[in-house]
Amino acid sequence: MHRYFKKKFIIPAVATGFLFIGTSFKEDFFEIAKQIEIFTTLFKAVNTNYVDETNPGDLMDKGIKSMLGSLDPYTVYFNEQDVVNFKINNTGEYTGIGAMIARKKDRLIVREPYKNYPADKAGLKAGDEIIQIGDVMIADFKDDASQLLKGTKNTKIKIKYLRQGKTFTTDLVLDEVDIKSVPFFGKIDDKTGYIVLAHFSRKAAFEVKEALEKLKTDGATQIVLDLRNNPGGLLNEAIDICNLFVPKNEVIVTTKSRIEKHNNTYKTTKEPIDTQIPLAILVNGKSASASEIVSGALQDLDRAVILGSRSFGKGLVQRTVELTYGTQLKVTISRYYTPSGRCIQALDYAHKDKNGVAQKTDSKNFNAFKTRKGRTVYDGGGVLPDIELDETKLSPITNALLKNDGIFDYATVYYYKNPNLGDKIPTITDTDYAAFKQYLKANKFTFDTETELALKNTLAAAKNEQIDEAIVIEYKQLLNALEKSETTLLDKNQKEIKNLILEELIKRYQYQEGLYQYYIKNNSEIKKAVAVLNNQTEYKTILKM
């Protein structure tokens, strides 16, 4: 054990570096130095004395990440491999298989293969369960198994996967993957252009500009910009996208911090493309960060009508700090504020409840602000649309279905029962919906709602206290009542669940592009955005033009 420790142990050198950094915090220097000394001596003592073999790197990785986790979800440490992944997320470019994958227990689930990329060319479909990559069994590989699917271009990787209970093998040939920030744009009708902005990588503004110019050339005289489910990304791209629609030297966002150097004002720096074209922006509860800068700024400047539901409320600003040995720290340094002065951030991580959970501001404590033309808008986190749409708000039962893959898994079963639909749009009939509910029941689907989890925890506690036999009858009665309630909620929210099943199926048959083609003809939120643009009286009234 000692030989392994001597080879790997590097913390004192790193700690020395921290001590020099600590000198900039004059008031806290002694406390910082003291705590670092305690930590390094403890770390060395554990690694030299623990009964079993230890991995100092793994211990340090967990220790750092746990420490930062007590601050906010966005202040994070990146080890060497994390740094590679972070760069991929910000550029949208990498060499890999071209598919969205997620780990589920001992398997990697293919969530969505992207058209004409390696996974798609190898025949992988959504729902396939990868169980082996090369010689490595996923069940035996506890680290990030997706890293086994990355490498140099043209590398051939043999994989084994399960599909509908049968085992298959195929070869994946790695290739360059360029994930578009604008995966789709097109015309909804003769005069309305539609642009989907999925995330803010370093090409986002360029791709939106290209789409806008092409749509204008094709005759579009009004635009719908879809930011639904966009988690954000690079700040400068958000500013440049606003700059397409507003003049040079407009304030788009400010950042405020207790540290003076992090207080900044960000303005547009270029000549715009079109400051007059009518613009509607769609947002929902998963539109975050840079999405909220774009929608919030254009709302405050009375440049666009915002439709949907209140956005996520991620208004904390991070910067990356280079550390030793190729590692990085992404640390929260300030908060975002829109041009009117609204703070985008919804949760206050500096003030948590007794359970350590940050709380949202109560609506009665929201503050009022004024847009450029005097419209009243409110803070409280996120961007509240000018026109709220119920369609963008999902019920708790639907969120549970999405979270626990009820819809995703049923779509996989449906796809293989109906493999030849091709370009035809499926129709989810009442019979199909009844089959969906039966599928959930047959597979003992767990919704994991708060009530369901509380009930399970009650039984677990009763078992620990050996009183479960005394309450088993009552427990079963409550469980049955809960199951009936869930069935009722499935029926009550049938329309929105059917829509989500349909959307998942369209991606299975026609990829992402097919889903957006369906949207421009059928999506109710898009239709309402177009209706507002077509009614110039309403549009101008909302924006006080």
Closest CA to 534 of 307, 296, 280: 280
What is the rounded distance in angstroms from the CA atom of residue 323 to the CA atom of residue 61? 13
At 286 the pLDDT is 94
At 362 the pLDDT is 81
What is the rounded distance in angstroms from the CA atom of residue 261 to the CA atom of residue 263? 6
Burial class (CB within 10 angstroms; exposed 0-12, middle 13-18, buried 19+) of 346: buried
Is 289 catalytic? The answer is yes
Q: How confident is the model at residue 19 (pLDDT cuts 50, 70, 90)?
A: very low
Which two three-digit tokens encode residue 292?
């909220």
How far, in Å, are 393, 409, 445, 473, 492 from residue 486 at the CA level?
Answer: 18, 18, 11, 20, 10
At 17 the pLDDT is 45
Beta bridge partners of 470: none
How far, in Å, are 413, 426, 429, 439, 446 from residue 432 at the CA level?
Answer: 12, 11, 5, 10, 20
Instruction: Evaluate if residue 1 carries a pLDDT over 60.
Output: no
Phi (first) and psi of residue 449, to 5 degrees? -70, 165
At 69 the pLDDT is 86
Q: Following CA atoms 374, 375, 380, 382 in sequence, which dihedral angle do they give, to the nearest 10 degrees?
A: -110
Which two three-digit tokens encode residue 404?
């626990």
Q: Which one-letter amino acid corresponds to residue 336? A: Y
In this predicted model, which residue has the larger pLDDT, 76 or 224?
Answer: 224
Q: Is the dihedral of CA 426, 429, 433, 434 positive or negative?
A: negative
Secondary structure element (H or E) that encloses residue 456, with its range: helix 450-464
HEC-encoded secondary structure of 142-179: CCCHHHHHCCCCCCEEEEEEEECCEEEEEEEECEEEEC
At 352 the pLDDT is 83
**Span 39-62, mean pLDDT?**
90
Q: Are 202 and 237 in contact (CB under 8 A)?
A: yes
Secondary structure element (H or E) that encloses residue 280, with its range: strand 279-283
What residue has token string 């089959």?
435
Which position among 287, 289, 309, 340 bears the catalytic label? Answer: 289
Longest dimension (CA), the chain: 78
Which position among 226, 300, 379, 386 bears the catalytic label? Answer: 300
**Rg of the chain's alpha carbons, rounded to an integer?**
26
Which position among 314, 498, 507, 528 bears the catalytic label? Answer: 314
What is the rounded distance in angstroms from the CA atom of residue 187 to the CA atom of residue 191? 7
Neighbours of 59 (CB within 10 A): 15
Instruction: Evaluate if residue 7 carries a pLDDT over 90.
Output: no
Instruction: Evaluate if residue 324 carries a pLDDT over 70.
Output: yes
At 85 the pLDDT is 62
At 392 the pLDDT is 87
Tens digit of each residue's pLDDT (9 = 90 or more) over 504-541? 999 999 999 999 999 999 999 999 999 999 999 999 99
Instruction: Encode burial over 399-412: b for 16+ CB neighbours within 10 A, e otherwise.
Output: ebbeeebbbbbbbb
At 342 the pLDDT is 95
Instruction: Evaluate if residue 472 carries a pLDDT over 60.
Output: yes
At 520 the pLDDT is 96
In this predicted model, which residue has the larger pLDDT, 324 or 494?
Answer: 494
What is the reported pTM?
0.85
Mean pLDDT of the chain: 89
Which two three-digit tokens encode residue 18?
């921290």
Neighbours of 203 (CB within 10 A): 19
Closest CA to 245 of 226, 231, 225, 266: 225
Lowest mean pLDDT among 25-39, 53-67, 114-128: 25-39
What is the rounded distance in angstroms from the CA atom of residue 5 to the CA atom of residue 57? 10
What is the rounded distance in angstroms from the CA atom of residue 149 to the CA atom of residue 387? 44
Instruction: Evaluate if residue 246 carries a pLDDT over 90.
Output: yes
Residues 6+ apart with CB under 8 A from 241: 197, 200, 204, 205, 208, 294
Q: Which one-letter amino acid corresponds to residue 281? A: I
Instruction: Evaluate if residue 61 carries a pLDDT over 70.
Output: yes
What residue has token string 């074209």?
277
At 289 the pLDDT is 94
In this predicted model, which residue has the larger pLDDT, 161 or 27?
Answer: 161
In this predicted model, which residue has the larger pLDDT, 422 or 90?
Answer: 422
Q: How confident is the model at residue 134 (pLDDT cuts 50, 70, 90)?
A: very high
At 3 the pLDDT is 41
Secondary structure element (H or E) that encloses residue 408, with its range: helix 406-417
Which two three-digit tokens encode residue 269?
């720096």
**Span 44-48, mean pLDDT?**
92
Closest CA to 256 of 247, 242, 266, 246: 266
Q: Are 211 and 123 in contact (CB under 8 A)?
A: no
Closest CA to 302 of 542, 532, 525, 535: 542
Q: Are 5 and 47 in contact (CB under 8 A)?
A: yes
Alpha helices (runs of H) in 288-392, residue ranges in sequence order: 290-300
Q: Are 252 and 309 in contact (CB under 8 A)?
A: no
At 400 the pLDDT is 92
Q: Are 390 and 493 in contact (CB under 8 A)?
A: no
Phi (first) and psi of residue 281, to 5 degrees? -120, 130
Q: Are 417 and 410 in contact (CB under 8 A)?
A: no
Tens digit of each residue's pLDDT (9 = 90 or more) over 441-469? 999 888 877 777 777 777 777 777 777 67
At 421 the pLDDT is 86
Lowest mean pLDDT among 104-118, 182-196, 265-279, 472-486: 472-486
At 13 the pLDDT is 42
Burial class (CB within 10 angstroms; exposed 0-12, middle 13-18, buried 19+) of 378: middle
Phi (first) and psi of residue 263, to 5 degrees? -85, 110
Neighbours of 545 (CB within 10 A): 10
Beta bridge partners of 280: 224, 305
Burial class (CB within 10 angstroms; exposed 0-12, middle 13-18, buried 19+) of 307: buried
**Span 20-41, mean pLDDT?**
73
In this predicted model, which residue has the larger pLDDT, 456 or 93?
Answer: 456
Lowest mean pLDDT among 86-95, 249-258, 262-271, 482-491: 86-95
What residue has token string 């220790």?
63
**Span 200-210, mean pLDDT?**
96
Secondary structure element (H or E) that encloses residue 264, with its range: strand 264-267
